[in-house]
Amino acid sequence: MKVNAQSVNFVADGKLLDFIQKRMDKMDLFYDKVVDSEVFLKVDNTSTKENKIVEIMVSVPRDKFMVKKQCKTFEEAVDSACSSLERQLVKRKEKLRAKA
C-alpha cells in the first residue's frame, strides 16, 4: 500500500516512518481495496504529555476514512488510529457483503 507520511513542523526519523509503513501494510488484511493513505504527524505545543497528534486518511473506492488520535508517543497514536481504521474497514466490508 502506498503511504504518504507528512510531518508538520519537524522531521520524522526513519524508524518512525518504517513503523508507520509496516502498521499501515496490515490494513490489507482487513480490506484489500485500499487505494492509498495519508498520515499527518503533528506536535501540539501544550504542557500536557499527550501532545503527539496523528491523523490518518485512508482512501477506498467511493469513500474515505479519517481518524485522529492524540497520545504520548507517535507509535502509540499510530497504533491506536490503525486499530480504529481496521474496525471501520471491517464494518464497511460487512456492509458490502450484506448488500451483495
Residue pLDDT tens, the chain, 100 long: 889 999 998 999 999 999 999 999 998 888 888 889 999 999 988 778 889 999 999 999 889 999 999 999 999 999 999 999 999 999 998 988 887 6
CA triple 23-27-30, angle to 5 deg: 140
Tell me how far CA of residue 24 lies from CA of 14, 19, 74, in angstroms: 15, 9, 14
The model carries a pTM of: 0.90
Q: Which domains does the chain have, with CATH numbers?
A: 2-99 (3.30.160.100)
